[in-house]
Structure 1
Amino acid sequence: MIPVFDGHNDFLQRMVAAGPGRDRLWLEGDGSGHLDLPRMKAGGFAGGFFAIWTPSPPGPDDAMAAMLKKNPPFALPLPPEVAPAQALPHALAQAGHLMAMERTGTLAICRTAADLRAAIADGQIAAILHIEGAEPIPDLDALHAWHAMGLRSLGPVWSRPTRYAHGVPFAFPSSPDTGPGLTAEGEDLVRECNRLRIMLDLSHLNEKGFDDVARLSDAPLVASHSCAHAVAPSSRNLTDRQLRVIAESRGLVGLNFAVGFLHPEGRRDPMHGFEIMLRHLDHLLAFLGEDGVALGSDFDGAEMPADLADASALQNLLQAMLDHGYGRELVEKIACKNWLNLLERTWGA
């Protein structure tokens, strides 16, 4: 099998929900969701970014619940910011569950590119601790504390505002140009992440915030789980101009598998076959080149295509790339090598 390194998953939410059954969920699976150790091994999943994410409190205007029920056109309001005091306990619980997974000996939390390569060589799942939405980071001292715990990747926003930046709403069709750029605190956050060599993830960030990060950051620009706006005009997808900016930084985009971001009409109907995913990959490759495209599944955080129902089916996508005419060397780059090389450029060896 060709190994796969994945730019984004939300499995830690399921670990928290599993309670006392968490170890069994990880080691054996329960038939639900998209990820567990057996299905990762079956699909060649070698490692990836494990997201810590704080859900919005439920309410009558719950944007996520509404989004999951709607087909386009729609433009849902952004959920309100979550206060650090609410976000931090949930985030720490997820970090603790990732550390519990490491204690089973089947996964390694990696802090350097050398750690990643060693874990993959040893047959462990190479995990990166990532925070999606910086609500659990109330200031730069907290950023240093999270870095000491292993944080190596940070998305300043999920699709709601934080003290640092503004996310894009769930909207289709829509431009990502939906609001103001980084706050003053957000600019400081970018500079400090650069100093600590924490990768900044631009997925979910609006266009003005994207431009501010591009102006301030000295690291390659990365969108861990996004698609091409020219193929599917979702607010969450990247315009051709944004792709050019990422390419100029020697950055990378991980293709999101979520059907709502892939489908040219934004529909969340079951998607059969890989033609639309290949259309996005062709477009990303045209702007980013063979070294700038990777995978960012959004497993356990979104609805997957019918023929890519969970991690055990990853080789189906890679075979579709081969059948499409991508050579094995290119498929290996998209599947794994581009992420490892990007992280070496961002973190150092």
Structure 2
Amino acid sequence: MIPVFDGHNDYLQRAVAAGPAADDLWLNGDGSGHMDLPRLKAGGMVGGFFAIWIPARDNPNGAAAAAAMENPPYALPLAGEIDHDSALPHAFEQAAALYRMERTGTLDVVRSAKGIRDSIAAGRIAAILHIEGAEAIRDMDALHLWHQAGLRSLGPVWSRPTVFGHGVPFEYPGGPDQGPGLTAAGRDLIRECNRLRIMIDLSHLNEAGFNDVAALSDAPLVASHSCVHALCTTPRNLTDRQLRVIADSGGLVGLNYGVSFLNADGRRVPFKGFDPILRHLDHMLAILGEDGVALGSDFDGALMPADLPDAAALPALTQAMLDHGYGESLTRKIASENWIGVLERTWGG
């Protein structure tokens, strides 16, 4: 089985919602969502980025939004900016859920590339603490505190604005060139992340913010869970120019499995087989090269393809890559080795 190291999941929200049953949900699963320990083991998923994400108190989307995404064109409203004091308790709950998972002895919260390798070798899940949308970070002192708590990857925004910058909306068709760049606080955040060697995640960030990070950062540029705009014209996907900028930095893009980012017509409808995934991977490889492409599932945060319904189905994806002609060496790079490599270059060791 080819091991998979994954660029993004939203499992921690499910863990928090499970409350006292969180250990049983992780250790045994309940058939819901996309991942739990048994399904990770069955699919060969050896680790990944576990995201802290703050839910909006009044979500303007829901069933109506899902229906709209099934029949483009669509343009979905987003909740407004979430203040720090409202965000912090949610972030603490999700971080605590990840450390509770570590206490089961089946997972390690890792802080280095060596830690990833050691955890995998010991048969445990190597988990990176990631924050998606930095509402829970008030200032640079708080960033240092989160770093001490294990934070090693940070996206300045989800799609809604933060005090640091602006994201892209959920719409089809549309492009990422929407809104202003990073704020002064956002530029300070990028510089301090560089000093601390926290990976900066460009997924969800608008194009002006992307350009600001590219100008400021001395680390490889990374988008943890994004696809190709030339093949699906949603603002969440990266243009060829953005892909070239990432390639020039020695960075990486993790392919998102969410069907609305893969389908050429932007529809949020599951497809059979793996052709859309392979088209996006082919395009990424042509620009980013063999060391710049990885996987970023968005498990428990997006609608999956029919033949990739959860983590247990990952061997079908890697087999499709092999059947497509990638060969075992390239497939292993995309599935896990490229993530570990870019983190080693970002974190150092």
TM-score bracket relative to the smaller structure: over 0.9
Question: CA 1:56–1:24 in 2, change beyond 3 Å: closer, same or farther?
Answer: same
Mapped to 1, the partners of 2:192 and 2:61 lie a distance apart of 31
**Tell me, which stretches of 5 or more residues in structure 2 are unaligned?**
none
| Separation in structure 1 between the aligned mates of residue 114 and residue 323 of structure 2, nearest angstrom | 33
- Please tell me the residue identity of whatever aligns with 2:65: M
Instruction: Evaluate the alpha carbon distance shift between residue 215 and residue 65 of structure 1 in structure 2; reply closer, same or farther with a 3 A threshold.
Output: farther
Determine the C-alpha separation between the residues in 1 that align with 2:202 and 2:339.
15
1:334 aligns with 2:327: no
CA distance in 2, matches of 1:307, 1:100: 31
Q: Answer whether contact 2:203 2:225 (CA < 8 A) is retained.
A: yes
Per-residue CA distance 1:144-202 (angstroms, 9 max, x = gap):
00000000000000010000000000111101001100000000000000000000000
Q: CA deviation at 1:76?
A: 1.8
Give secondary structure in 2 for the equivalent of 1:306.
coil
CA contact (8 A) 1:79 1:159 kept: no
Q: Distance in 1 between matches of 2:230 and 2:64?
A: 25
Q: How many residues align?
A: 347
Shift, 1:269, TM fit: 1.3
Contact 1:111 1:128 in 2 (8 A): yes
Cα distance, 1:66 vs. partner?
4.1
> Could you say which residue in structure 2 is the equivalent of 1:270?
270
- Residue 18 of structure 1 is matched in structure 2 by 18
- Whether 2:261 is the aligned partner of 1:261: answer yes
Say which SS state the counterpart of residue 51 (structure 2) adopts. strand
Shift of 1:64: 5.2
5 Å matches for 1:32-71?
32-59=32-59, 62-63=60-61, 65-70=63-68, 71=71
Q: Which amino acid aligns with 1:176?
A: P
**Separation in 1, partners of 2:13, 2:134:** 16
Kindly provide the amino acid, as one letter, of the partner of residue 307 in structure 1: D
Partner of 1:284: 284
1:63: how far off? 3.3
- Supply the distance in 2 between the matched residues of 1:68 and 1:57 (Cα, whole angstroms): 19
How much has 1:58 moved relative to structure 2? 2.2
Question: Could you tell me how far apart the structure 2 residues matched to 1:134 and 1:200 are?
Answer: 11
Indicate conservation of the 8 Å contact 1:72/1:267, yes or no: yes
State the partner residue of 1:130.
130
2:120 equivalent in structure 1: 120
CA distance in 2, matches of 1:155, 1:340: 18
| Cα separation, 2, equivalents of 1:65 and 1:151 | 33
In 1, the alpha carbon distance for the partners of 2:316 and 2:64 equals 31
* TM-score, normalised via structure 2 length: 0.98
The answer on 1:217 being equivalent to 2:217 is: yes
Q: Which amino acid letter does the alignment assign opposite residue 280 of structure 1?
A: H
Offset at residue 65 of structure 1 (A): 4.8
* Correspondence for 1:105: 105
Asked whether the equivalents of residues 58 and 79 of structure 2 are also in contact (C-alpha less than 8 Å), the reply is: no
**Aligned to 1:115, what secondary structure does the other structure show?**
helix
**Could you tell me how far 1:20 is from its partner in structure 2?**
0.8
Instruction: Tell me how far apart the structure 2 counterparts of residues 337 and 194 of structure 1 sit (CA, whole Å).
Output: 23
Q: Is the 8 A contact 1:154 1:200 kept in 2?
A: yes
Which piece of structure 1 moves more, 275-284 or 68-77? Answer: 68-77
- When the two chains are superposed, the root-mean-square deviation of aligned CA atoms in Å is 0.8
Do the aligned partners of 1:75 and 1:170 also contact (CA within 8 Å) in 2? Answer: yes
Q: Distance in 1 between matches of 2:78 and 2:11?
A: 23
Contact 2:12 2:98 in 1 (8 A): yes
Deviations 1:274-295 (A, max 9, x none): 0010000000000000000000
1:81-230 superposed matches below 5 A: 81-230=81-230
Separation of aligned partners in 2, 1:68 and 1:205: 22
CA distance in 1, matches of 2:98, 2:77: 32
Change in CA separation of 1:64 and 1:347 when aligned onto 2, cut-off 3 Å: farther
Matched residue, 1:309: 309
Q: Distance in 1 between matches of 2:238 and 2:292?
A: 14
**What letter matches 1:103 in structure 2?**
R
Matches of 2:195 and 2:112, distance apart in 1: 15
CA distance in structure 2 between the partners assigned to 1:41 and 1:10 by the alignment: 18
TM superposition shift of 1:338: 0.1
**What letter corresponds to residue 328 of structure 2 in structure 1?**
R
Q: What is the match of residue 346 of structure 1?
A: 346
**Alignment partners' CA distance in 2, 1:304 and 1:221:** 26
- Structure 1 CA distance, aligned partners of 2:157 and 2:185? 13
- Contact preservation (8 Å) 1:52, 1:130: yes
Residue identity matched to 2:266: G
Kindly provide the amino acid, as one letter, of the partner of residue 63 in structure 1: N
Q: TM-score under structure 1 normalisation?
A: 0.98
Moved more, 70-79 or 25-34: 70-79
